[in-house]
């Protein structure tokens, strides 16, 4: 993922048992290519060591001992100057109070005062401490100054009780960090609607006709669009962990997806139809389960709505997004079929996908696609991960929106 590659993240770790989760977060960020400077408070050192973070990031981790070292006069200034994002995770009630009042009693505090970059705070504390008006006032003060506060979540706490005070899990924090880093990306201020998964058309109360689709490519696109700063609506029929920041609309049938798309494209800049939508659906759906003893049923099908056709028929400039992208999953005559769909569905671009290949298409993590543009240009991409394919598509959508 390119969003974290080479990004300078300053990470503050404070004295909470959730500091062990901060080690995992540091590891994930470093593996994703971020350049991480970690600063631990004295109380963080009661739970974890600087060596933990040094081992995970491959870089020096700093403590208050460095605040009084020979380089002290420049260290906090340098750390703050280089940082593109300051993440304090976990952030205790004490550190929240210190930040809110601008105190300068530790390396982390002086560095935070000196830093001009965005600040992400992941609070972690006992639930009464979190609910206390003093903590709430301090958090409100920080939010008012532009800090991005995420969590804490409800759940099991170190006190043995359950309540609101748990630091968010690594995956979620990672998503919030991506969201913050992407803010000024290629799709900043753009709204993008993405569909994912296959639709399900009921045959009777227990059976349905569906399309094979894992939703992986659609979810990868939603994440790549968020990395590029877009405001994303993800209309989905599958249960996967959604990217942090996406607005999720869950649907099941082609009709529900059509209604969701028409509602979400109002004011949107782009629509990317990745979903495998049913072309046919059972015409009459019995309200009782079909029984075997009644013999093989003769199911009459009818056309399901064509969503892209409906979008193409929206009045230009009113509700139709500026850029509409379709997917063509084909088992034969890939380019001919994709080019026909590009034209008949009035698309700006179509992503042609040969589903007969084992390493591309349904369920697998890789894809090999050809991008066909309305102006006749085409681009064959090599075998890439679904996320890399998503990043390429997002780049092309950004160019089309320029």
Q: At closest approach, how far in Å is the CB of 198 from ligand CTP?
A: 10
Strands 35-40 and 8-13: parallel
| Residues 200/226, Cβ–Cβ less than 8 Å | no
Q: Name the one range near ligand CTP by CB under 6 A: 144-152, 287-295, 320-328, 357-365.
A: 320-328
Q: Interface with ligand CTP includes 352 (CB under 6 A)?
A: no
Q: What is the DSSP string of 328-360?
A: EEESS-HHHHHHHHHHHTT-SEEEEEETTSTTS
Q: Which of 44, 89, 194, 254 binds ligand CTP (CB under 6 A)?
A: 254
Judged by CB under 6 A, the stretch of 55-63, 216-224, 270-278, 366-374 that binds ligand CTP is 270-278
Q: Which candidate in 138, 211, 353, 367 is catalytic?
A: 211
Q: Are the beta carbons of 304 and 255 closer than 8 angstroms?
A: yes
Whole-angstrom CA distances from 358 to 214, 251, 276, 364, 367 are: 15, 29, 18, 8, 9
Binding status of residue 281 toward ligand CTP by CB under 6 A: no
| Active-site annotation holds for 211 | yes
CB of 221 to ligand CTP, least distance (A): 12
Tracing tokens 């709430």 back to the chain, one arrives at 136
From 320, 341, 386, 396, residue interacting with ligand CTP (rule: CB under 6 A): 341
Question: Among 342, 187, 343, 352, which residue's Cα sits nearest to residue 270?
Answer: 187
Neighbours of 209 (CB within 10 A): 17
Taking the least distance from each CB to ligand CTP, the nearer of 96 and 342 is 342
DSSP letters spanning 168-205: PPHHHHHHHHHHHHHTTSTTTT-EEEEEESB-EEESSS
Minimum Å gap between C-beta 121 and ligand CTP is 40
How many CA atoms are closer than 13 Å to the CA of 257, on its beta-carbon side?
30
Answer yes or no whether residue 371 interacts with ligand CTP by CB under 6 A.
Answer: no
- For the bound state, the minimum distance from the C-beta of residue 398 to ligand CTP, rounded and expressed in Å, comes to 19
Binding segment for ligand CTP (CB under 6 A), chosen from 19-27, 62-70, 222-230, 327-335, is 327-335
Using rule CB under 6 A, residue 327 touches ligand CTP:
yes
Q: Given candidates 36, 308, 323, 349, which one binds ligand CTP under the rule CB under 6 A?
A: 308
115 belongs to the binding site for ligand CTP (CB under 6 A): no
277 binds ligand CTP (CB under 6 A): yes
196 scored as a contact of ligand CTP (CB under 6 A) = no
**Hey, which residues does 371 pair with through a beta bridge?**
351, 379
Q: Is 306 in the site for ligand CTP (CB under 6 A)?
A: yes
124 binds ligand CTP (CB under 6 A): no
Contacts of 80 (CB under 8 A, 6+ apart): 10, 86, 111, 112, 114, 115, 116, 117
Residue 25 near ligand CTP by CB under 6 A = no
CA dist 197 and 388 (Å) reads 19
Q: Would you name the residues annotated as active-site residues? A: 211
Residues at the interface with ligand CTP (CB under 6 A):
254, 273, 275, 277, 279, 304, 306-308, 326-329, 341, 345
């Amino acid at each position: 993922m390119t969003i974290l590659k080479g990004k300078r993240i300053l990470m503050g770790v404070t004295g909470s048992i959730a500091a062990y989760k901060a080690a995992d977060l540091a590891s994930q960020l470093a593996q994703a290519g971020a350049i991480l400077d970690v600063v631990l408070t004295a109380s963080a050192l009661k739970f974890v060591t600087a060596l933990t973070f040094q081992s995970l990031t491959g870089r020096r981790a700093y403590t208050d001992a460095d605040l009084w070292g020979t380089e002290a006069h420049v260290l906090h200034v340098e750390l703050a100057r280089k940082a593109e994002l300051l993440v304090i995770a976990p952030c205790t009630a004490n550190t929240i109070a210190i930040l809110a009042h601008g105190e300068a009693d530790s390396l982390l505090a002086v560095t935070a005062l000196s830093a001009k970059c965005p600040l992400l705070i992941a609070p972690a504390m006992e639930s009464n401490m979190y609910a206390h008006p003093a903590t709430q006032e301090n958090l409100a003060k920080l939010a008012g100054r532009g800090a991005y506060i995420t969590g804490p979540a409800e759940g099991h706490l170190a006190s043995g009780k359950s309540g609101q005070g748990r630091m968010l899990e690594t995956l979620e924090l990672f998503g919030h960090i991506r969201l913050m880093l992407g803010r000024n990306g290629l799709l900043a201020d753009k709204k993008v609607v993405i569909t994912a998964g296959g639709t399900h058309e009921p045959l009777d109360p227990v059976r349905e006709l569906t399309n094979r689709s894992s939703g992986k490519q659609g979810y990868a696109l939603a994440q790549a669009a968020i990395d590029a700063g877009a405001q994303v609506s993800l209309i989905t029929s599958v249960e996967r962990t959604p990217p942090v920041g996406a607005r999720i609309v869950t649907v099941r049938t082609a009709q529900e997806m059509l209604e969701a798309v028409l509602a979400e494209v109002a004011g949107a800049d782009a629509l990317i139809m990745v979903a495998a939508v049913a072309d046919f659906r059972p015409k009459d759906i019995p309200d009782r389960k079909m029984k075997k003893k009644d013999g093989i049923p003769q199911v009459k099908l009818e056309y399901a709505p064509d969503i892209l056709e409906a979008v193409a028929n929206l009045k230009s400039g009113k509700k139709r997004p500026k850029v509409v992208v379709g997917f063509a999953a084909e088992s034969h005559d890939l380019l001919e079929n994709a080019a026909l769909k590009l034209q008949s569905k009035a698309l700006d671009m179509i992503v042609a996908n040969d589903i007969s290949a084992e390493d591309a298409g349904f369920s697998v993590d890789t894809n090999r696609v050809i991008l066909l543009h309305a102006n006749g240009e085409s681009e064959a991409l090599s075998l890439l991960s679904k996320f890399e394919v998503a990043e390429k598509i997002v780049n092309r959508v950004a160019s089309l929106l320029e």
